[in-house]
Structure 1
Amino acid sequence: MPTPDEASTSAAPPPTFKSLGLIDPLLEALEQIKYKTPTEIQSQALPHALEGRDIIGVAETGSGKTAAFALPILQKLWEEPKGLFACVLAPTRELAYQISQQFESLGSAMGVRCLVLVGGVDRMPQAVALAKRPHVIVATPGRLNDHLQNTKGFSLRGLKFLVLDEADRLLDMDFGPDIDQILKVIPTERTTYLFSATMTTKVAKLQRASLSNPVRVEVSSKYQTVSTLLQYYLFIPLVEKDVHLIYLANALASNSIIIFTRTVHDAQRLSIILRTLGFPAVPLHGQLSQSQRLGALNKFKTGGRKVLVATDVASRGLDLPSVDVVINFDIPTHSKDYIHRVGRTARAGRSGKSITMVTQYDVELIQRIENVIGKKMDLWPTDKEEVALLRERVDEAGRVAVNELKEEAKAGGGRKRRRDDRGGRDEKDRDDDVVEAGIPTKKRSKGRR
């Protein structure tokens, strides 16, 4: 039997943004961007955040956590409109831009000014923009640290809020020392929000170092895929992966497709093979400059390119438009990464397909993924004769790709070193893909400056 308290709770109407205590300018902005009702993480976090408490949020990408930390910051900014107010640390450049856009949308009635500080772009315009005193900085830790050390007149001494978003990924990507450095130079009297999909021992240690008497807010973290997603696998010998990928691209030619690879090298190589064979493909990975990365995303979002060949830099956090098919060229080693990848399709109630290429070395991994998602994948049907007809052309396109990458490596080596020297110390392209990349980079072996 439920207690009277439990009975009254179950009968209580669902909270609204107004009932959670948000001010009118924010309610207007929420209405404009069509946020009707709070998500679970927002309902749980906002009352504590508006009381001024530190928050630990355990929530997946896509749970609405950006608004859960942006809204209380903007509400406090409305009450005390002072200079540089909040700093959000994000693991990837694309996520930093996305968070900044959400702050600007939610703070549109307040005229909030946001600045993104990420690597891969020139430091000087960022330094000029810092001098104009933005309200909110959204940064990758390496580039923020660079500005703290080298940009005259810039400090975080007046900071009121610090947000560590996707803390598990920040720490997985070797940002720990940069974060330690940032924590040393910001006020101890501040409000801190830490959001993470998983609570690892590293994240728990960071929590103890950075938060004061926090409230823990956790939403259902069971990893699962949506019912509208049809999940398939393709069992093939390792040496036949390229030709089967082209077979799939042919069969799905009218669809928008994301192909996930484990390494930067394969993302580059496969996009060249696809383009050589007439498929409009574009790569996305951490070794592209920021303008190239944003350009690739934009071409894919607007339909200018039907195929995006990406490393895991695109698997989490990015709100991509309707994606029809996700192909895992390389099977991810962690089941949760599989769920993040295939979650790029079948969004918002739409249907979608995922196809995972499984070689003789991947059987255990696919079984582990099926265990976690609680269902067996179906076998994708293939026509062996069609695959055989494609083999010669794919082999030739593969040779073209190898030669093109060799030429690029020769031409780009000197240019890249000069750009790194000019651009100063950024996040060292430490997206997940570079950590696992097949392309050796001298920059990684130099150690920290």
Structure 2
Amino acid sequence: MHSPVPESPSSFAQLAISPALQEVVAELGFRAMTPIQAQSIPLLLQGYDLIGQSKTGSGKTAAFTLPILDRIRVSARQVQALVLCPTRELCGQVAREMRKLARRHPGLQVLVLAGGEPGRPQAVSLESGVHIVVGTPGRTLDHINRGNLDLTTLRYLVLDEADRMLDMGFADEMEKILEAAPQNRQTIFFSATFPASIEEMSARYQKQAQRVTIDEGAVTAPSVKQIVVEINPENKLSALHGLLDQYRPETAIVFSNHKAAIAEITKALGEWGVSAAGLHGDLEQMDRDKVMAKLRNRSIRVLVATDVAARGIDVADLDLVINYDLPLKPDTYVHRIGRTGRAGKEGIAISMATPRERLKIEAIETYTGSSFEREKIQLPKQEKALYQGAAMTTLSIGGGRKDKLRPGDILGALTGEAGGLDAKDIGKIEIHDRVAYVAVAQSLGRIAVERLREGRIKGRKFSVDWVR
């Protein structure tokens, strides 16, 4: 379908959004828009329903958030926008970005509704009034069915990564939520692929939907250097040692298909002096949050994960992805390597393949339309200690968003008179509902814990500890 907008703007400054939002995008350093933003935002500002097709990491969250924030009424403490995402991790990531863009909307409440957290506190938050809900289909529908989530005031409904939600078996939940939402809403689908099931859903639940497709040529990002290393199965651990010694990434993800291998690889990395943590489907949600905070805060260098556990993971500036095991399907390969090579930087993806897996490599090359570089790996004669551990350590503070804690409060406590630390030694600060994570230079971790325990944040005492 042809776009009703004759020409897409190229910079955020050209958008017809409020001065407050213009200030925010300027503060965040947003200048040139990504293709999906340039084509989607003007259509959404005009009120059109939309199907946007582009890959993960293309700037979709800002594409739907800016039009929503431009129209939202903070004075009306009712649910006005609902964003559905396939996983809890992706919900958290979307909510964080929405809050960042809403910094000039004082009092705006964004609530995550996802599994892994008790439902009662979520119900209490809904009762007290929120403006935007970001949720997984299952937990969101559960709150609708229980009468906790009232959609009568809903004006915007976004299905983010709609194809993945369908792949994960959420079709029934998605349709029930679409049917429960008021008719006079704006409905927005974002999807990396456009299967027939999405087309059918669009025909049933959208009105005159505009289609925006970002043609990126090959399925994979051109900014990822793709390498295959042929190795016998019994030499995989040694090969991993050699690759990490050769590339020395600041941050990396190692993918395995087997939960048992996660523990084996993580143990070996620890023995080599590499700070690492494993992520698999059996971890409790709190432990998953800790692992992800440590990776984002750069207090671990390497994450070892299965595909199920890694759904929704987004880490800025990831240097390297290693496929310790080749994925079972070519589209999974694309999801894996799409986590590196973002924001104009070249990423590297290395796949270990056994001699029997040559057909799998050919299938991936056919699917992606690109060829692997073939490299030989020199297996180390003996395994030595590798590069230094992580530069940062992560601390947890027993208070969060529900306690009205903000990143500036924690930074102030660490760098103010009582804390006495230099701002350059403080890294990323993440605020969750009831816990906050802060990265501090490794050498100053003990001092930071002591000062925070002795002092106060916003005049209050909070528990403080290392994230182990």
Specify the alignment match of 1:375 in structure 2. Answer: 371
Pair 106,255 (structure 1): closer, same or farther in 2 beyond 3 Å: closer
CA distance in 2, matches of 1:92, 1:44: 26
The residue aligned with 2:57 is 62
Distance 2:159 2:52 in 1: 10
Provide the C-alpha distance between the structure 2 equivalents of 1:176 and 1:265, rounded to a whole number of angstroms: 31
Give the count of matched residue pairs: 377
Helix, strand or coil for the counterpart of 1:297? helix
Matches within 5 A, 1:206-245: 206-223=201-218, 225=220, 229-245=224-240
1:356 aligns with 2:351: yes
Equivalent position of 2:183 in the other structure: 188
Helix, strand or coil at the partner of 1:282: strand
Superposed, 1:82-93 pairs within 5 Å as: 83-93=78-88
Does the 8 Å contact 2:228/2:372 carry over to 1?
no
Other-structure match for 2:120? 124
Return the match for 2:254 from 247, 250, 259: 259
Match of 2:72 in 1: 77
Q: In the alignment, which of 148, 155, 164 is matched to residue 159 of structure 2? A: 164
CA contact (8 A) 1:22 1:75 kept: yes
Equivalent in the alignment of 1:179: 174
Q: Determine the structure 2 residue equivalent to 1:148.
A: 144
Partner letter of residue 120 of structure 1?
G
Q: Name 1:302's counterpart in structure 2.
A: 297
Cα distance, 1:322 vs structure 2: 2.9
- 2:278 maps to 283
Alpha-carbon distance between aligned partners in 2 of 1:146 and 1:33, rounded to the nearest angstrom: 36
Q: Deviations over 1:185-216 (max 9, x none)?
A: 22122110001000012222222232122111
Query: What letter matches 2:118 in structure 1?
Result: D
Say if 1:81 and 1:15 are closer, same or farther in 2 by CA, change over 3 A: farther
Q: 1:78 touches 1:110 (CA, 8 Å); kept in 2?
A: no
Letter in 1 for 2:94: I
Write the distance in 1 (CA, Å) between the matches of 2:357 and 2:339.
22
- Contact 2:161/2:192, CA 8 A, preserved across alignment: yes
Tell me if the contact between 2:143 and 2:149 (Cα under 8 Å) persists in the aligned partners.
yes
Letter in 1 for 2:129: R
Task: Say which structure, 1 or 2, has more relative contact order (CA 8 Å, 6+ apart).
Answer: 1
**Does structure 2 retain, via aligned residues, the 8 Å contact 1:315–1:340?**
no
Contact 1:156 1:186 in 2 (8 A): yes
1:400 paired residue number:
none
Looking at structure 1, the residues matched to 216 and 311 of structure 2 have their Cα atoms a distance apart, in angstroms, of: 15
Unaligned runs of 5+ in 2: 1-5, 384-468
Show the 5 A alignment for 1:1-80.
14-78=9-73
Aligned residue number for residue 429 of structure 2: none
Contact 1:121-1:289 at 8 Å conserved across structures:
no
RMSD, matched Cα: 2.7
**What is the distance in 1 between the residues matched to 2:99 and 2:30?**
15
Question: Which 10-residue stretch deviates more, 174-183 or 229-238?
Answer: 229-238
Amino acid aligned to 1:66: T
| Alpha-carbon distance in structure 2 between the residues aligned to 1:72 and 1:14 | 15
Structure 1 pair 72–226 and aligned structure 2 pair: CA distance change class (3 A): closer
**What do residues 316-358 of structure 1 show as CA deviations (whole Å, max 9, x unaligned)?**
7543133332110121244343233223233334344322010
Note if contact 1:271-1:282 (Cα within 8 Å) is conserved in structure 2.
yes
1:14 CA drift (Å) = 4.9
- Deviation, structure 1 residue 139: 0.4
Q: Which of the numbers 91, 100, 105 marks the counterpart of 2:100? A: 105
Q: Report how far residue 128 of structure 1 moved.
A: 1.4
What one-letter code is carried by the residue in structure 2 that aligns with 1:87? L
Write the distance in 1 (CA, Å) between the matches of 2:103 and 2:27: 10
Distance 1:89 1:227, change over 3 A: closer
Deviation track 1:147-200 (CA, whole Å, cap 9, x = no partner) reads 2233x5432222111100000100001111221222232212211000100001
Range that drifts further, 203-212 or 254-263: 254-263
Deviation, 1:276, is 5.3
Structure number with higher strand proportion? 2
Q: Deviations over 1:76-127 (max 9, x none)?
A: 2149845110100001111111111111111211122100111111222211
Structure 1: state its 5+ residue gaps. Answer: 1-8, 391-449
Evaluate the alpha carbon distance shift between residue 141 and residue 333 of structure 1 in structure 2; reply closer, same or farther with a 3 A threshold: same
SS in 2 for 1:194: strand
Moved more, 335-344 or 117-126: 335-344
CA distance in 1, matches of 2:223, 2:260: 32
| 2:105 is the alignment partner of 1:114 | no
Give TM-score scaled by structure 1 length.
0.76
Post-superposition offset of 1:281: 1.7
The 1:286–1:118 alpha-carbon spacing in structure 2 relative to 1, beyond 3 Å, is farther
CA contact (8 A) 1:61 1:317 kept: no
Which residue of structure 2 lines up, in the alignment, with residue 139 of structure 1? 135
Contact 2:109 2:131 in 1 (8 A): yes
Letter in 2 for 1:164: L
- Taking the aligned partners of 1:16 and 1:347, their CA distance within structure 2 comes to 19
User: 1:269 and 1:40, CA in 2 relative to 1: closer, same or farther beyond 3 A?
Assistant: same
Task: Summarize the Cα distance change of 1:147–1:286 in structure 2 as closer, same or farther, 3 Å threshold.
Answer: farther
Q: Which residue of 1 aligns with 2:433?
A: none
Structure 1 residue identity aligned to 2:134: V
* Greater percentage in helix: 1
CA distance in structure 2 between the partners assigned to 1:269 and 1:296 by the alignment: 17
Task: Quote the offset at 1:360 in angstroms.
Answer: 3.2
Distance change in 2, residues 1:303/1:257 (3 Å): same
Question: Against the structure 1 CA distance between its residues 212 and 349, is the aligned structure 2 distance closer, same or farther, given a 3 Å change threshold?
Answer: closer
